[in-house]
Structure formats: structure tokens, C-alpha cells
């Protein structure tokens, strides 16, 4: 006789894990997966769907990916706007459809670094002086045309989707800041598997850029300026704002921490927000007013600022409203 109770199916999902507290988690993203894949993994580990990330990394790229958990997603706007540091490898001699190693080869003229003492009639020789001069032109405040396979929307569609559909995408240049674009070392590669016998030059570089800057586009533009073509073969984000790799954990490490029946820990909101915004301590009455959406005295609030209680709880993100008052932009749950 079959009982009325429903037997558990082997295909059923396991019970949801305990929900992690509001905050952020810094992930060292591995190669080969998308930033959304990381978010999906954290949703399972943190027991909540309220997970997002601040600053997409392509599948090829690795490194710092800051993820907001619960109310921590409200901080991601300020994470995305911070400057970012990268280690990268630019390959001169080949250009691709995506400006990185995942695209198809468009041109393959090759490149070879020659010493300054080498003399020939050709003006297209790749010398360290020429590379440095062109890199300098791509440093500072520049107008950059984003890579065509970016997530920028064109007529309501992502540019990378239009490219995949076979459409030609022309994006407008926009101002960005490249505060550092420096060579660490150079390697002359005499032969590559993908283009047998073709010499190329690999530039290992350190880059610091403003939000919205594409390192792939720097590789593309440097190669174009040198007449060799260029693309990115490695990209590792080492820092966002003041959050660096030393604070990051791999997905394997996070999975190991989540094996016990306890919430996966996060960096608390009051601690996390200080990495991206100036902070100001508020009184209990001011905290109460802010939690109700009320203005408070401006005091020394001259820009977007985190309002924290004496015990380091984040109450709100505030901004100046007038010469005397500051208003809440984002409010976080608070109880005395």
C-alpha cells in the first residue's frame, strides 16, 4: 500500500543554505566563467537571490570581483564608479574581432621588437621608443571608442549581441582616464601555434583606469598606432578602489567555508562602505531621522558620504542638500 506522504526525489534541490548577512564578498574570479556565473554560485552559497556584482569581468579575465549580498547590493553603484587596476598582456602582431584572445583573427602581420641601434628604411619597425611614445598618447584623459563586443546598448540591444548577429557596430568615443599604462617587461615570441612561424611581441603591462575604460581597447589602439595590430591575451584585475586581491577569496575557498550549516560570512556594510566613500558618524537621533527619510544637519558633509552610527552600522548614504542640510540618497534598515 502506497502511503500518502510524498517521498523525496533524488532530483530535488538540496535545502537552501542559511542566509548570509548583508554585506559584500570579494571574489578572485577564475578564468573561463562569466561574472554572472559567480553571482549564481554565490546565490547558492549565501542562501539568497539578492546578490549582484560591481564591475563585469569577461570570461577570459580573472581577479577582483566585488559582490553585494542582500542590502550590500545597494553599494554596488559606488563600487562600479571606482578606479580599477589591472595586470595585462598585450600581443602585438595580431588583431581579433573581440580585441582579445577569444575572438577570431582579423589581421596577422606579425611584429618583432628591434634594438634602437638597428637601422633600416622602414618606419614600421617596433622599437621600445615607439611603443613607449604610443602608450604615452593613450595615457591621461583620452577619448576611447569602446570595444564593439562591450555591454553598451545600441538601440536597446547590447553591442556584443549585435556583433554575434553579424551586424556592424560603431560605438561613439567617450572620455576616460588612463592614469597608468606602463610596461613591466617584453617578450619576443618567434612562433605561435595559432599562426605558425609568425613572430609577435608580448607586452606585460600594468594599467590603472577610470570606470568605463576598456583595457582591450587600449590593446587594439596601441596595435593600430604601431601598424601591427594588437589584442589582449591576459587580463587580471588587481584592485577596485582600495579593495585588492589580498582581500579576495576563490570560489573554492568560499565553497569550503560554506560546507558547515552556518551562513557564509560577509564584510559588514559599515566596514565595506568605507572603501568607496568618505564616512561621517551620526547621533542616534540623526540615525532615526535618516531611517525615516528625513534631512539632517549638513555639518561637514561636502559630497556623497556614508552615515554611520557610533557602533559602525551603516544607516544611510547622504549628500548635501543645502548650506545647512544633508539628505539621504540611500537608506538602510536601522533600529536603536
Rounded (5°) CA angle 73-100-34: 30
d(Cα 315, Cα 298) in Å, to the nearest integer? 15
Residue pair 92/228 in contact (Cβ under 8 Å)? The answer is yes
**Which residues are marked as active site?**
58
d(Cα 246, Cα 66) in Å, to the nearest integer? 13
Residue pair 94/200 in contact (Cβ under 8 Å)? The answer is yes
- The grid coordinates listed for 139 are 595615457
d(Cα 329, Cα 209) in Å, to the nearest integer? 27
- The grid coordinates listed for 13 are 534541490
Residue 255 DSSP symbol:
H
Residue pair 263/20 in contact (Cβ under 8 Å)? The answer is yes
Residue pair 143/156 in contact (Cβ under 8 Å)? The answer is no
d(Cα 303, Cα 286) in Å, to the nearest integer? 18
Amino acid at each position: 500500500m502506497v502511503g500518502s506522504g510524498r517521498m523525496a526525489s533524488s532530483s530535488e534541490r538540496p535545502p537552501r543554505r542559511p542566509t548570509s548577512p548583508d554585506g559584500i564578498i570579494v571574489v578572485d574570479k577564475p578564468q573561463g566563467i562569466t561574472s554572472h556565473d559567480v553571482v549564481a554560485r554565490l546565490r547558492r552559497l549565501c542562501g539568497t537571490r539578492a546578490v549582484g556584482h560591481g564591475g563585469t569581468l569577461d570570461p577570459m579575465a580573472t581577479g577582483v570581483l566585488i559582490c553585494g549580498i542582500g542590502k550590500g547590493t545597494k553599494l554596488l553603484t559606488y563600487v562600479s564608479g571606482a578606479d580599477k587596476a589591472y595586470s595585462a598582456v598585450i600581443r602585438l602582431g595580431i588583431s581579433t574581432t573581440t580585441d582579445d584572445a577569444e575572438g577570431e583573427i582579423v589581421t596577422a602581420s606579425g611584429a618583432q621588437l628591434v634594438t634602437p641601434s638597428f637601422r633600416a628604411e622602414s618606419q614600421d619597425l617596433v622599437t621600445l621608443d615607439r611603443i613607449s611614445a604610443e602608450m604615452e598618447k593613450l595615457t591621461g584623459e583620452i577619448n576611447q571608442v569602446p570595444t564593439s563586443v562591450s555591454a553598451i546598448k545600441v538601440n536597446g540591444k547590447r553591442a556584443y549581441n549585435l556583433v554575434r548577429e553579424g551586424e556592424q557596430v560603431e560605438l561613439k568615443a567617450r572620455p576616460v582616464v588612463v592614469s597608468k599604462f606602463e610596461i613591466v617587461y617584453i617578450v619576443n615570441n618567434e612562433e605561435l601555434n595559432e599562426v605558425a612561424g609568425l613572430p609577435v611581441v608580448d607586452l606585460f603591462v600594468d594599467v590603472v583606469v577610470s570606470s568605463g575604460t576598456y583595457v582591450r581597447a587600449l590593446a587594439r589602439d596601441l596595435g593600430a598606432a604601431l601598424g601591427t595590430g594588437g589584442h589582449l591575451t591576459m587580463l587580471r584585475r588587481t584592485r577596485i578602489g582600495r579593495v585588492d586581491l589580498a582581500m579576495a577569496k576563490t570560489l573554492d575557498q568560499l565553497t569550503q567555508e560554506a560546507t558547515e550549516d552556518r551562513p557564509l560570512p560577509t564584510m559588514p556594510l559599515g566596514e565595506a562602505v568605507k572603501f568607496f566613500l568618505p564616512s561621517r558618524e551620526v547621533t542616534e537621533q540623526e540615525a532615526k531621522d535618516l531611517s525615516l527619510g528625513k534631512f539632517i544637519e549638513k555639518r561637514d558633509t561636502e559630497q556623497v558620504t556614508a552615515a554611520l552610527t557610533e557602533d559602525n552600522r551603516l544607516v544611510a548614504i547622504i549628500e548635501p542638500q543645502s548650506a545647512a542640510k544633508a539628505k539621504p540618497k540611500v537608506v538602510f534598515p536601522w533600529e536603536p
